[in-house]
């Protein structure tokens, strides 16, 4: 263990990783530890490149730990004519079933059609047929057409007045933050060096490569790294990174979690609000409700769920399930995230394309943004193909579609992707093998108890004690970690 100037003890692998990043010329430095950066680090490392990845906060603490957690082709994009995106995402959904089976839970969606809605039954019927054609699901997951009675059986409590029937199609539920962590574990196993709490502050051309100024935010120390190529995968921050040529339009989306007894769904339901669609997604004994889509004009920062966002989601749910009568007191937990969309001033937030963009306007510098959690592997593959051209030396083919992530296929998905039992072993593993530095790294992202368990404060107390033993925290540090964690769920504003 190494004692840093702030007297926080760091696990030894972190300081060793920082030493490697400082030491010599990397082939690639990836900036951003969300799903896109993690995917790029994994792909490049599997092709034999020397890779460093720096993340300013915690891995998956940006958008990639705040999504709807769906691996999906995006049925609604069909209505916008974005067939290519649907096809790509549909294929990637199947790849993820193969390489991340422990984080891929097939989930049926009931999409009801009400009289007078912009989503009439004929349109839904045609939509799911095309969806099947583009996404090629296994036979057991082909779409079906339901009459109103069948729809009510699968989605009890659905508004009956004007209900014309429904369609039923399949996508999959995942755990977004775990997907990032497991992708990074795979990257690290292939030789990538990944460091959280390390921010890129500046970068300048240096001979044939780049010299990058980093800040270790755990100790406050400055360091430099040299790399032949740099990839900016900073998500919502990507247009603020030095040398970036990206222009983003950020939109905020929120999710609420309620107990499943308050909305006893057998399957997921697509809830419509005029042209917009929201989801009610069963997650073990809970239901995830969301999402909204509103412009976020400011810098990325820390988006919060505001009372207006919460009321907007609850109003849609209560319109679709009139007897549910959900109110603010039913909300067990919530999160808000920012979509890093490629700037397009035309149309409302929901109309902006979810396609990704890759730019390389200076030698050895690549910017990447947009896309979806579902399409991260595809984006990573395209970026690393570009890197390979730049780095030369005999191109190696992408292997990420065939190499399973750690945990797959040995670990079947826990029932409904429920978080693990609260246990010291889980916490020890998070600290020793998964780079957890703070209490909220475990509660929110590694284990996910924060969003699932109503007794999370009591759990946090126990976890802080276990982390204290593991990391050598004193009483003051433990109290500071609990304060920091409580700040995460200040009441909805």
> Judged by CB under 6 A, which stretch of 9-17, 235-243, 399-407, 447-455 contacts ligand FAD?
235-243
The residue among 63 and 143 lying less far from ligand FAD, judged by its C-beta, is: 63
Provide, rounded to whole angstroms, the least separation between the CB of residue 437 and ligand FAD. 14
Q: At what angle do helices 83-99 and 376-391 cross, to 10 degrees?
A: 90
What does the alpha-carbon distance between residue 113 and residue 215 come to, in Å, rounded to a whole number?
A: 53
Q: Is 163 left (phi over 0), alpha (psi -120 to 50) or beta?
A: beta
Applying CB under 6 A, which of residues 200, 258, 320, 471 lies at the interface with ligand FAD? 200
- Choose the binding region for ligand FAD from 101-109, 133-141, 229-237, 470-478 (rule: CB under 6 A): 229-237
Please, are residues 370 and 378 in contact by the beta-carbon 8 Å criterion? Answer: no
Shortest Cβ contact with ligand FAD: which residue?
A: 34
Cβ atoms of residues 223 and 21 within 8 Å: yes
Which ranges of 47-120 would DSSP assign to H, the alpha helix? 75-79, 83-99
* Residue 67 makes contact with ligand FAD by CB under 6 A: yes
Q: What is the CA radius of gyration of the chain?
A: 22
Binding status of residue 234 toward ligand FAD by CB under 6 A: yes
In this complex, which beta carbon is closest to ligand FAD, that of residue 234 or of residue 426? Answer: 234
Residue 193 engages ligand FAD in binding (rule: CB under 6 A): no
- Please report whether residue 90 would count as binding ligand FAD according to CB under 6 A: no
Taking the complex as a whole, the smallest distance from the CB of residue 104 to ligand FAD amounts, in Å, to 12
Q: Which of 199, 260, 262, 276 binds ligand FAD (CB under 6 A)?
A: 199
- C-alpha span between 93 and 85 (Å, rounded): 12
474 vs 485: CA distance, rounded Å = 17
The residues in 242-261 that bind ligand FAD, with binding defined as CB under 6 A, are 253
**Residue 320, SS3 per DSSP:** helix
Looking at residues 287 to 316 of the shown chain, list those that interact with ligand FAD (rule: CB under 6 A).
291
Q: Give residues 37-66 in contact with ligand FAD (rule: CB under 6 A).
A: 37, 54-57, 61-64, 66
143 contacts ligand FAD (rule: CB under 6 A): no
Q: In 3D, which of 80, 66, 76 has the Cα closest to residue 346?
A: 80
Among 228, 249, 339, 456, binds ligand FAD (CB under 6 A): 339
Contact residue for ligand FAD among 11, 18, 21, 33 (CB under 6 A):
33
CA dist 127 and 75 (Å) reads 7
d(CA 366, CA 44): 14
**What is the rounded CA–CA span in Å between residue 399 and residue 45?**
10
Pick between residue 55 and residue 441 the one whose CB is nearest to ligand FAD: 55
Q: Of these, 235, 282, 381, 413, which contacts ligand FAD (CB under 6 A)?
A: 235
At its nearest, how many Å lie between ligand FAD and the CB of residue 472? 26
Contact status, residue 170 vs residue 109, Cβ threshold 8 Å = yes
Q: Is 219 in the site for ligand FAD (CB under 6 A)?
A: no
Q: What is the DSSP string of 389-446?
A: HHH-SS-----TTTSPPTTTTTSPPPGGGPPPP--HHHHHHHHHHS---SHHIIIIII
Residue (152 or 238) nearer to ligand FAD, CB = 238
Residue that is written with structure tokens 């609990």 in the block: 482
- Which residue number, 123 or 199, has a Cβ lying nearer to ligand FAD? 199
What part of residues 364-383 is at the interface with ligand FAD (CB under 6 A)? 371-374
Q: Which of 10, 64 has the CB closer to ligand FAD?
A: 64
Smallest distance from the beta carbon of 51 to ligand FAD, in angstroms? 15
Tell me the number of residues near ligand FAD by CB under 6 A: 39
Instruction: Please pick, from the candidates 29, 44, 70, 173, the single residue that binds ligand FAD as defined by CB under 6 A.
Output: 70
Sign of CA dihedral 193, 197, 200, 201: negative
User: Nearest distance from residue 39's CB to ligand FAD, in Å?
Assistant: 8
Residues with Cβ within 8 Å of 125's Cβ and at least 6 positions away in sequence, in order, are 145, 167
Cα(7)–Cα(13) distance, integer angstroms:
17
Alpha-carbon 370 to chain mean position: 13
CB of 180 to ligand FAD, least distance (A): 7
Smallest gap from residue 62 Cβ to ligand FAD (A): 2
Binding site for ligand FAD (CB under 6 A): 31-37, 54-57, 61-64, 66-70, 72, 199-200, 233-237, 241, 253, 291, 337-340, 371-374
């Amino acid at each position: 263990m190494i004692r840093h100037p702030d007297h926080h003890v760091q696990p030894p692998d972190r300081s060793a990783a920082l030493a490697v990043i400082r030491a010599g010329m990397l082939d690639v430095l990836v900036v951003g530890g969300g799903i896109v950066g993690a995917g790029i680090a994994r792909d490049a490392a599997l092709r034999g490149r020397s890779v460093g990845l720096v993340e300013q906060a915690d891995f998956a603490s940006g958008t990639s730990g705040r999504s709807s957690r769906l691996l999906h082709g995006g049925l609604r994009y069909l209505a916008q004519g974005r067939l290519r995106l649907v096809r790509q995402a549909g294929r990637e959904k199947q790849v993820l079933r193969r390489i991340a089976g422990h984080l891929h839970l097939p989930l049926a969606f009931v999409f009801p059609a009400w009289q007078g809605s912009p989503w009439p039954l004929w349109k839904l019927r045609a939509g799911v047929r095309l969806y099947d054609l583009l996404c090629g699901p296994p036979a057991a997951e082909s779409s079906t057409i339901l009459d109103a009675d069948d729809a009510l059986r699968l989605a009890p409590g659905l508004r009956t007045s004007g209900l014309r029937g429904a369609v039923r199609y399949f996508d999959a539920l995942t755990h977004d933050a775990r997907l990032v962590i497991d992708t990074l574990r795979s990257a690290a196993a292939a030789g990538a060096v990944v460091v959280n709490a390390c921010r890129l502050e500046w970068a300048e051309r240096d001979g044939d490569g780049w010299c990058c100024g980093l800040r270790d935010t755990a100790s406050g120390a400055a360091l430099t790294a040299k790399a032949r190529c740099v990839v900016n995968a900073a998500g919502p921050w990507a247009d603020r990174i030095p040398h970036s040529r990206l222009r983003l339009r950020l939109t905020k989306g929120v999710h609420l979690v309620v107990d499943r007894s308050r909305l006893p769904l057998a399957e997921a339901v697509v809830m419509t609000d005029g042209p917009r669609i929201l989801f009610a997604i069963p997650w073990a004994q809970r239901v995830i409700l969301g999402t909204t889509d509103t412009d976020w004009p400011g810098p990325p920062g820390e988006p919060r769920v505001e009372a207006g966002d919460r009321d907007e989601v609850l109003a849609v749910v209560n319109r679709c399930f009139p007897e549910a009568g959900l109110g603010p007191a039913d909300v067990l937990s919530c999160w808000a995230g920012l979509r890093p969309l490629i700037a397009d001033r035309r149309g409302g937030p929901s109309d902006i394309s979810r396609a990704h963009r890759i730019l390389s306007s200076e030698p050895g510098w690549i910017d990447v943004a947009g896309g979806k959690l579902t399409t991260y592997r595809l984006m990573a593959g395209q970026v690393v193909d570009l890197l390979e051209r730049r780095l030369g030396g005999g191109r190696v083919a992408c292997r990420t579609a065939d190499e399973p992530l750690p945990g797959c296929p040995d670990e079947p998905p826990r029932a409904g992707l429920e978080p693990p039992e609260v246990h010291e072993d889980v916490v020890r593993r998070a600290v020793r093998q998964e780079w957890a530095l703070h209490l909220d790294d475990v509660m929110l992202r590694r284990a996910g108890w924060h969003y699932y368990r109503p007794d999370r404060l009591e759990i946090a107390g126990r976890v802080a004690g276990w982390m204290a033993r593991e990391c050598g925290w004193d009483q003051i540090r433990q109290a500071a970690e609990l304060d920091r964690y409580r700040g995460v769920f200040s009441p909805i504003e």
